[in-house]
Amino acid sequence: MRPFAAPAADRATAVGAEVLPRHVAIIMDGNGRWAKKRHLPRIAGHRQGIEAVRRVARAARALGIEALTLYAFSSENWRRPEEEVSDLMGLLRLFIRSDLEELVRDNVRLRIIGDYRRFTPDLVELLDNAVARTAVNDGPILVIALNYGAQAEIAAVARRMAERARDGLLDPSVIDETMFEGELETHDLPPLDLLIRTSGEVRLSNFLLWQAAYAELLFVDTLWPEFDGDTLAQAIAAFAQRQRRFGGL
């Protein structure tokens, strides 16, 4: 799979502001396969995945991307072995504690989407405090999807609207796409322009299903621990070559 057509020397500089995606989302896949190829435990792949998060978040800021959304823990990931889930939670704690000051210094707003309150109270408190610390920042947005599932998000919006209609607070006839979108967890983010999935898998895995309706999709073979700023720049260059018609001509 070779999705990048821009010459290597031009990838980082070829994209002008007029074609730079405002909002990029990434399904970070391949940590386990990265570790398996090296005969290492899966936790080693997850540790390298955290390093990739740092690299890519910094690169996104340098490129001028307004919002970066990372699929860190899906609502389906609870099905993994308990030890692996515990390791992932530990790495999340480590990332927040070690990187929060950098996010504050770089004027980054941290956002969490998903039902992360299912996590242990100490981790919920850590996440809440990190979001609060960066809430006054007005620079790029880093969104972490934790215990997130797009189908559950859409169902929750439908349920809230149905309850308001039942209580006479909402006329069902006025519900449209704009109103529905305004109830999503991402309602105050820029529209999703580019969704990337690493490791060669070609599916969305219950991630931002509504938001991705007109996003450009890019599936790359690179395993997430190997993803870096240059890989992101290549993806942006590929995005710049797409013609986005949004259903028109």
Active-site residue numbers?
29, 77
Ligand-binding site membership of 31 (annotated): yes
| Spatial separation of the C-alpha atoms in residues 210 and 125, rounded to whole Å | 29
Ligand-binding site membership of 210 (annotated): no
Q: What is the DSSP letter of 14?
A: S
| Spatial separation of the C-alpha atoms in residues 128 and 130, rounded to whole Å | 5
| Spatial separation of the C-alpha atoms in residues 220 and 239, rounded to whole Å | 13
Ligand-binding site membership of 244 (annotated): no
> Which residues touch 15 (CB under 8 Å, ≥6 apart)?
63, 233, 236, 237, 239, 240
Q: Tokens for 182, please give them.
A: 């305004």
Ligand-binding site membership of 29 (annotated): yes
With beta carbons less than 8 A apart as the criterion, state whether 234 and 6 touch.
yes
| Spatial separation of the C-alpha atoms in residues 214 and 196, rounded to whole Å | 13
Ligand-binding site membership of 30 (annotated): yes
| Spatial separation of the C-alpha atoms in residues 90 and 43, rounded to whole Å | 10
Ligand-binding site membership of 204 (annotated): yes
Ligand-binding site membership of 49 (annotated): no
Ligand-binding site membership of 197 (annotated): yes
Whose structure tokens read 């290549």? 234
Ligand-binding site membership of 76 (annotated): yes
Ligand-binding site membership of 199 (annotated): no
Residue numbering of the annotated binding site for Mg(2+) = 29, 216
Question: Which residues participate in the annotated binding site for substrate?
Answer: 30-34, 42, 46, 74-76, 78, 80, 197, 203-205
Residues forming the annotated binding site?
Answer: 29-34, 42, 46, 74-76, 78, 80, 197, 203-205, 216
